[in-house]
A and B are shown apart, each in its own frame.
Chain A
Amino acid sequence: MGKQQTGIIKGTLDLLVLKTLALEPRHGVGVADRIGQITRGTFQVKPGSLFPALHRLEQNGFIHGEWSETPEGHRAKYYRITAAGQRQLAAEKRNWARIVVAIGQVLEAD
């Protein structure tokens, strides 16, 4: 799924989505907004490329989607993180930390 992840390191989209939803339930556009916001625009995610990730996470049982109303009065599917998703987030965080350390060591070894 490389093509939708312009600007995002492969495999980190799930981590970002889970992290975003860990704070509060959001709909797809909201998740994209939030990722852009917390990375201060480093990562721009189009809602269209978010949908496969959201559905993959839902299929895995890490998040759960429900229809609800936005504050502006539109209908939207809000995703919230599940207990399994919380655990997965923790595991991916550890994993990411290891990668960061490992990559850092490789770079410093130069």
Chain B
Amino acid sequence: MRLFTRIASLWATLFRKARLHRELDDEIRAAVDTLAARYVAAGADAADARRAALAAVAGPGGVVRVKEDVLDARIGAGLDSLLFDLRYAWRGLRKAPGLTAVIVVTLALGIGANTAIFSIVHAMLLAPLPYRDADRLVFVWLNRTQVGYPRGPMSGPDFGDLRTGSQTIASLGGIWASSAIALTGDGPPEQLRAAFVTTNFFQVLGAEAALGRTFRAEDSARGADPTILIGWDLFRRRFGGDASVVGRRIRIDDRPVTVIGVLPRGFRLLLPSDASVPDHLQAFTPFWPDLETGPRRNLFLRVIGRMRPGVTVAQARADIDAVGARVTRQLGNTRAFTTVGLQDDGVREIRGALVALFAGVGILLAIACVNVASLLIARAAARARETALRLALGASRGRLLRQALVEGLLLTALGIAAGVFAGYAALRMLLAIAPDSLSRIAASRIDVPVLTFTLVIAAAWGLLFSLAPATELLSADACGSLRSSADASRVWRRRDARGALRGHYGVGRYRTRGALVVAQIALSLVLLVSAGLLVRAFVAVARVDPGFRADRHLTFRLAIPPRYETTEAFNLFAAELQRRLAAIPGVGGVGAFSHLPYDDLPNWGLPYSLDAPIAPDAPMADSRAISAGLFETLGVRLVEGRFFDARDADPRNPVVIVDDMLARELWPGRSALGQRLVLNVGSKNVRVVGVVRHLKLRSLVDNLSPQVFVPWPIAQRNPIAYVVRTADQAIAPSALAPAVAAAVASLDPRLPVYDVRPLAAYVESARSTRRFTMVLAAAFASCALLLTCVGVYGVLAYGVAHRRREFGVRRALGATTRQVMAHVLREGIAFAVAGCAAGLAGAVVASRLLQSQLYVVHPRDPITYAIAVGAILVGGAVACGIPAYRATRVSPMDALRTE
């Protein structure tokens, strides 16, 4: 294309001036030399000749002036011709605002979807974790597959085994996001989300403190001064960003603790979502000194390792497995580990979906660009006479092509502008509904790499579709189109009634685009069916009864400070608080719960057995402590027996409530009431007083493990969550918050209330990943449907434009409006039917891949398929409408006049 050499030349003029200057100097010097040589030959002496030559070449302004004039001339000429083409293209677009709008919106959809999805892919899959040499970080789980936990926390001694036994791991750190700690002094009391860490934890991650330091080995030593490392947000909010807080003592849980440092702004722990380590911890404290000698039963440590340089994850895994095998031999007790790369594991659950989505948006953009090409070709066809006229008047084909290209690139530029804007809006929306478990998604933004990606793909596609009308422009010949289009009508006459297209003039191209449209329809159907199934699965999950009510419930947490250390004080406090909360006007029920449903606290599991002693690989039950009144407040269904009440406060007579899953397993066909079982090592028999329906507390769709409920506060769990139910529907749960805080403060003004939120919010969070995929799929399918309709429209519009004469003749021969319309509609429907047939096959395959996401919905759910096909047919009919209408507007006279 000449256009490119022009642009390249203009580019050189504007941005590579030095080279141009050099060349110009050479050229001027050459001219001077030539003239001077001529004067010398005529008899002048060398110096005079040179002076005269210089004057002749450069004139009065001198060489500098000449060079300036040349540069001006070049830039002016370059801009002029570009501006002319741009102006012409702009006028063309302005003349057809409808078409321009359709094209820009089409491109904006395609480009916007790609921009938004790529920014997510970039943040989640491509960008490294924000830690030094993040690809050398591994996460190590204790693998207890035999009891259903392939990815669980490990004990202190396990950690010690790995630290001393592994060859490939340079350093190993552990963390336990245990509980909240109370910060008092420097303002109102407050609960901080805190974690214990090994002193090398931040070195393993490669994170430095922004102020002060991170931990050193001596901070965990016996008798060491208590120390704490705080996060940036807490530092700004609580301590006003005053750096002198480092080195100061603050009061944590009523003890003085020295602040040793502040973590940098934006520091986040991006550990696997099932590690139960919240990514916004506010404070860190070092582990107790004898961490590695604690009991092997206490599984709580989440472990990251930094591999030695050059070690692969597979090598580290083999090495750690070998340590596990060695320890197993020594202990006679299975110890196995699961080692995963930290970088990959964080996106384990969403990687497939993201890659599929990314491929999907690529196809979406392809559909969009095929559409634009199709529309541009249709318009070029409609302008065939104008083109022929211009050719006849002496315009070159190159010139026509160049204009087509400039017009296409102008459209691309508009599309990119609109697309980046749409992508930004889409990304904002996606981030707003993104589930918390996808913590890295929050880092998605439209930055330079994303914009570069957008520009490159959009420009590549823009070039392709800009040149698409070339087929029309190059085939147009000056006489052909001006002469009657007799050939054309001859061809179109040979169409048979079924709508198959035959003939030679343009029909090959028409058929290619027809095939593309059929493919588009098929793809849209696949997407529509997939999205439809996901929507139905989401609805089904939303209807799942978790076994408790969440509609009228407010929750909050308390961390009971050490001043209630004695059992008497603790019990007294618990009883009094329960009484005061229940006395709040508008409160219809109160209960305490060690874990809230779907919260991010580490799970407590207890091994269970009918008899002591408990085998080392005994199955685990999900264990939660509940107060009397909790199950009544939550509306839990009792299968048999009773809920906890005041009788259960006697520690000498331990009781338990089990779920029906455990009851069926241990006492099949018998009543569980009064039965005894052993929970945990060394504990006494406990008596079953009640059986409840299994509660879906960890997952809405799976029954993970059997559950046991022990009475609180006998089983002291700290922190503890309270659930308060409103007395009637009219009161919003959150309206109770001030009264609840006041009730706690009336009992102990130094006790902070935290995590105040409706129970419904926790249930909502359990559905958020599913809702996220559903919204993505639905948005995606709608775009595809819309674009496909545009595609159908484009192809039919092209067909109608080419056949104006035919329709005119038909009208002249007496065809009614209805007949002409039906004629065009039939063609559109033929595309839709062919596309649906192909798409159904694809949808069956795709839905099988989706099966794991579908919950109870059958992959070949007939309703979903019917709705999807219906949507395609309706969309197709609408898309046919405009060309069909246009075909009926061809007047017989109009068609005959052009002969």
Contacts and interface: CB of A to CB of B under 8 A. Distances in A.
A4 interface: yes
Interface residues of B, number: 35
B76 A56 contact: yes
B863 interface: no
B34 interface: yes
B72 A52 contact: yes
Most buried by B among A4, A53, A59: A59
B189 interface: no
Contact of A72 (B10, B28, B37): B37
A1 to B, nearest CB: 7
A74 interface: yes
Interface stretch (B54-62, B102-110, B435-443, B447-455): B54-62
B73 A1 contact: yes
B70 interface: yes
Contacts of A59: 6, 9-10, 13, 73-74, 77-78
A26 B431 CA distance: 65
Contact of B6 (A53, A61, A74): A61
A74 B33 CA distance: 7
B77 A56 contact: yes
B70 A76 contact: no
A52 B13 contact: no
A87 interface: yes
Contacts of B430: none
A45 to B, nearest CB: 11
Given A48-B66, A51-B28, A84-B2, A74 B37 contact: yes
Interface string A44-58: 001111011101111
Given A48-B59, A59-B9, A59-B78, A53 B34 contact: no
B396 interface: yes
B73 A47 contact: no
Most buried by A among B35, B57, B61, B76: B57
A51 B61 CA distance: 13
B5 interface: yes
B70 A51 contact: yes
B615 interface: no
Contact of A56 (B30, B37, B73): B73
B78 A47 contact: no
A10 to B, nearest CB: 15
B81 interface: yes
A75 interface: yes
A53 B31 CA distance: 15
A28 B31 contact: yes
A76 B73 contact: no
B69 interface: yes
B31 A47 contact: yes
Most buried by B among A29, A67, A91: A29
Contacts of A56: 73-74, 76-77
Given A46-B57, A56-B77, A60-B81, 13 more contacts: A1-B73, A29-B34, A52-B66, A52-B70, A55-B73, A58-B74, A59-B13, A60-B77, A67-B26, A70-B34, A74-B34, A75-B30, A77-B23
25 contacts: A4-B59, A48-B28, A48-B57, A48-B66, A51-B24, A51-B27, A52-B69, A52-B70, A52-B72, A53-B73, A55-B77, A56-B76, A56-B77, A59-B13, A59-B74, A67-B26, A70-B34, A74-B30, A74-B33, A76-B27, A76-B30, A76-B34, A77-B26, A77-B27, A84-B2
Interface of B: 2, 5-6, 9-10, 13, 23-24, 26-28, 30-31, 33-35, 37, 56-59, 61, 66, 69-70, 72-74, 76-78, 81, 394, 396, 398
Interface of A: 1, 4, 27-29, 46-49, 51-53, 55-61, 67, 70, 72, 74-77, 84, 87, 91
What are the 10 A-B residue pairs with the smallest beta carbon separation, nearest first? A52-B73, A59-B77, A56-B73, A48-B59, A52-B69, A56-B77, A76-B30, A59-B74, A47-B57, A55-B70
